[in-house]
Amino acid sequence: MRTPAKLDELDLAILTAMHEFQKAGILELSRRTKVARATVQARINRMEEAGVIASYDPQLDVTAAGFDVQAFVTLEIAQGALDTVSAELAAIPGVLEAYATTGSGDVLCRIGADSHAGLQAVLLSIDRTGSVVRSHSVIVLSTVVARRTMPLLRTLTPAGTAKAPAYRDQR
């Protein structure tokens, strides 16, 4: 397990700018945070190496792409079958995410489909896997809070003041 990165105010400002202006390059982020381009690049490199910035994949809306039926499925799996069920679920295109959990279920999945019939087909594919003992599904009616990370990151107590003089001066 990695040691959590110590983020300071400048790191949070850079992450906020990256989140708000997703197509911005290093120069634009430098302008928006009023910090030297090399400083921004070094900070981003450090956050990438620490795993804080995990990806630059575009955030895709499967509903807009025609998969407007989504559900959450809780799975009870055979004892010790987490690795097996992981591979089985990864082979089903309708499984968007899956997490090992505590509680009455062992795995929580988010699935997507283009119709209720498509949803049923994904659910049947999941139930046919050799590792799933029982499943329980709930259909998503609407999104109440979309996937987000910045509000949580903003609750961090910054590790200290930023070393970049221009950033310190603007606070």
Which of 66-103 are b and which e, b meaning 16 or more Cβ less than 10 Å from the residue's Cβ?
A: ebebbbebbbebeeebeeebeebbeebebbeebeeeee
Per-residue pLDDT for the chain (171 aa), expressed as one digit of tens each?
A: 667 888 999 999 999 999 999 999 999 999 999 999 999 999 999 999 999 999 988 888 899 999 999 999 999 999 999 999 999 999 999 999 999 999 989 999 999 999 999 999 999 999 999 999 999 999 999 999 988 888 998 888 776 655 665 555 555
Give DSSP secondary structure letters for 28-57: HHHHHHTS-HHHHHHHHHHHHHHTSS----
Q: Residue 171: what pLDDT?
A: 55
Domains and CATH numbers, the chain: 9-58 (1.10.10.10), 63-140 (3.30.70.920)
Give the predicted TM-score (pTM) of the model.
0.79
Q: Residue 159: what pLDDT?
A: 66
Q: What is the bridge-based pairing of β-strands 132-139 and 69-77?
A: antiparallel
Q: Residue 60: what pLDDT?
A: 87
Q: Helix or strand or coil: residue 66?
A: coil
Q: Residue 161: what pLDDT?
A: 59
CA distance 97 to 110: 5
The C-alpha angle with vertex 73 and arms to 69 and 19, in degrees rounded to 5, equals 65
**Smallest Cα–Cα separation from 130: which of 80, 72, 76, 85?**
85
**Smallest Cα–Cα separation from 49: which of 100, 3, 105, 18?**
3
Q: Residue 15: what pLDDT?
A: 95
